[in-house]
């Protein structure tokens, strides 16, 4: 807890320090405590959990009080906690990402990785994403959910400590807060990209490739994240950092026999 007895939040993202989704997250968190913003100075979407090792990092204080860092979301969380904040935050909040982070998205997402870094540093962490379409976000719809985000944060804060080694991945449905069906605990669905690699020519006629676009197909059961979003619910997926496949581990005697 902060000296005043309120909560101290670190807010970051992967869309950059001036992203409107970050504004919405800050406004939602300010209703409950003190907010420090440390965010990348440019878009770092799909940066995953990258750490900058090969050049120094600079944290510049903007006129609005936020810090912007010439690094990745993971760099931002590390700098904030280890150097920029006078005390450790009570929560690391990342987002609100302009676009969903469901299914395998969490493996690429800088938004989710920032929350993972918070958790790795021992701080309860939550990632927020707005599932408002794959090719552009209507920011007014994120703004319309600020109250819903505050309500969700209030719930997280009210829990007697979040489960250890767990971060929460929240996706918000693209609808006004008064039309949200509720909150559903979910598991990750499956996502299949099609035609997401485009072969092109540069201005000099040389072949180049551009990753992005295409179409996305989702699959998964009724308890999956994308189904919750489709049905108008806020999706909350608990994640942990241990990628071990425990079923394989338990069956290891059958899986491997000495020759």
Residues that bind Mg ion (CB under 5 A): 14-15, 45, 97
Query: Which residue is at the shortest CB distance from Mg ion?
Result: 45
Decide if 149 contacts 236 (C-beta within 8 A).
Answer: no
Q: Which residue is listed with tokens 């120094």?
A: 56
Q: Does residue 228 sit in helix, strand or coil?
A: helix
Does residue 26 have a cis peptide bond before it, meaning omega lies within 30 degrees of 0?
A: no
| Distance in Å, CB of 108 to Mg ion, minimum | 10
| Distance in Å, CB of 235 to Mg ion, minimum | 17
| Distance in Å, CB of 80 to Mg ion, minimum | 18
Q: Based on CB atoms, which residue is closest to Mg ion, 14 or 90?
A: 14
CA 66 centroid distance within chain: 19
Q: Based on CB atoms, which residue is closest to Mg ion, 109 or 237?
A: 109
Do strands 197-201 and 207-211 pair parallel, antiparallel, or not at all (unpaired)? antiparallel
For the record, the structure tokens of 113 come out as: 């990785």
Q: How far apart are CA 149 and CA 183, in angstroms?
A: 11
Decide if 233 contacts 182 (C-beta within 8 A).
Answer: yes
Q: Which residue is listed with tokens 């026999």?
A: 257
Query: Which backbone phi and psi does 200 adopt, to 5 degrees?
Result: -140, 180
Q: Based on CB atoms, which residue is closest to Mg ion, 45 or 68?
A: 45
Q: Based on CB atoms, which residue is closest to Mg ion, 33 or 71?
A: 71
| Distance in Å, CB of 109 to Mg ion, minimum | 7
| Distance in Å, CB of 133 to Mg ion, minimum | 13
CB within 8 Å of 210: residues ≥ 6 apart: 197, 198, 200
End-to-end CA distance of the chain: 58
Q: Based on CB atoms, which residue is closest to Mg ion, 47 or 162?
A: 47
Q: Based on CB atoms, which residue is closest to Mg ion, 14 or 117?
A: 14
| Distance in Å, CB of 1 to Mg ion, minimum | 30
For the record, the structure tokens of 50 come out as: 């990258």
Calculate Rg over the CA atoms of the chain.
19
| Distance in Å, CB of 251 to Mg ion, minimum | 38
Q: Based on CB atoms, which residue is closest to Mg ion, 15 or 117?
A: 15
């Amino acid at each position: 807890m902060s000296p005043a007895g309120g909560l101290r939040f670190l807010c970051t993202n992967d869309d950059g320090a001036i992203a409107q989704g970050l504004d919405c997250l800050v406004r939602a968190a300010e209703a409950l405590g003190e907010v420090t913003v440390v965010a990348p100075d440019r878009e770092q979407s799909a940066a995953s959990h990258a750490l900058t090792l090969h050049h120094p990092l600079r944290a510049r204080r903007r006129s609005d009080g936020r810090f912007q860092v010439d690094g990745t979301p993971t760099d931002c969380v590390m700098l904030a906690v280890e150097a920029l904040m006078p005390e450790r935050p009570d929560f690391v909040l990342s987002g609100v990402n302009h676009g969903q982070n469901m299914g395998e998205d969490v493996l690429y997402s800088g938004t989710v990785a920032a929350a993972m870094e918070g958790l790795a540093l021992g701080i309860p962490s939550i990632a927020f994403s707005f599932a408002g379409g794959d090719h552009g976000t209507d920011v007014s719809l994120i703004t319309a959910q600020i109250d819903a985000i505050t309500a969700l944060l209030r719930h997280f804060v009210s829990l007697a400590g979040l489960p250890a080694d767990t971060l929460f991945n929240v996706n918000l449905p693209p609808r006004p807060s008064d039309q949200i069906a509720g909150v559903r605990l979910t598991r990750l669905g499956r996502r299949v990209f099609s035609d997401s690699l485009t072969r092109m020519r540069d201005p000099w006629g040389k072949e180049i490739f551009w990753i992005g676009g295409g179409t996305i197909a989702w699959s998964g059961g009724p308890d999956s994240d994308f189904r919750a979003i489709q049905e108008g619910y806020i999706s909350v997926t608990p994640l942990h950092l241990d990628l071990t496949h425990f079923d394989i581990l338990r069956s290891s005697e059958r899986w491997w026999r000495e020759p």
